[in-house]
């Protein structure tokens, strides 16, 4: 069974991402086709990228990078929960992604965005970033509006129609994570040789 991380994609105080990620995880955990786990970038206390060598070399020197690497490497796919800040992704999420390289490869990713425009511009940026890291992003997504899916812009109250969009996203992430398993196995066997 694939292991899928629901990534809490911001570290901002008072963030809505925790409530959204818990909603995603709660619905996902009720499924029987994958194991789902919350992965909160805030828990790793990552500074601005401070590794002296490029992540593509995989020669990490910092304890926080090793911990982050081990966490990401355990998963076969991801559902990124991201707000949109100024037409883009949070700096903390981009920084967390940039710390690693091969740990992302040949895995699947879906998105749950939120913001004034449903987080759509942040999701589009994430697609470009993740493509460079050899992550297959799925077509379906969830786009939550700060005007209709949050009360007073803070209390998460998703419309019932959002469940269908989330289920479609989860279906595709699980399918693609499973389909990419041979590539991950090939990469792992090559690294072990």
pLDDT value, residue 190: 61
Pick from 115, 168, 108: which is nearest to 136 by CA?
108
Distances in Å between the Cα of 37 and the Cα atoms of 10, 11, 145, 147 are 17, 18, 24, 28
What residues have CB less than 8 Å from 88, skipping those under 6 apart?
Answer: 121, 122, 125
Task: Give CA separation, 32 vs 59, 61, 167, in Å.
Answer: 37, 38, 13
Q: Which domains does the chain have, with CATH numbers?
A: 3-192 (3.40.50.360)
Q: Is the pLDDT of residue 17 over 90?
A: yes
Percent of the chain with pLDDT over 90: 95
Does the pLDDT of residue 160 top 90, yes or no?
yes
Residue 19 DSSP SS3? helix
The answer on pLDDT for 66 being more than 70 is yes
What pLDDT does 40 receive?
Answer: 98
Give residue 192's pLDDT band: very low, low, confident or very high (50, 70, 90). Answer: low
């Amino acid at each position: 069974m694939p292991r899928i991380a629901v990534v809490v994609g911001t570290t901002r105080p008072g963030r809505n991402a925790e409530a959204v990620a818990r909603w995603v995880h709660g619905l996902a955990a009720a499924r029987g086709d994958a194991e789902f786990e919350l992965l909160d970038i805030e828990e790793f206390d990552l500074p601005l990228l401070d590794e002296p060598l490029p992540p593509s070399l995989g020669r990490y020197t910092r304890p926080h990078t090793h911990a982050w690497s081990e966490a990401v490497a355990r998963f076969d796919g991801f559902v990124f929960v991201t707000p949109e800040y100024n037409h883009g992704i949070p700096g903390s999420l981009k920084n967390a992604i940039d710390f690693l390289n091969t740990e992302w490869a040949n895995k699947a990713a879906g998105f749950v965005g939120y913001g004034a425009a449903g987080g759509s511009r942040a999701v589009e940026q994430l697609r470009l970033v993740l493509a460079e890291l050899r992550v297959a992003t799925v077509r379906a997504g969830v786009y939550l509006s700060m005007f209709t899916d949050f009360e007073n812009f803070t209390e998460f109250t998703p419309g019932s129609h959002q469940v269908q969009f989330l289920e479609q996203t989860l279906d595709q992430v699980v399918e693609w994570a499973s389909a990419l398993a041979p590539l991950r196995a090939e990469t792992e066997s090559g690294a072990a040789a």
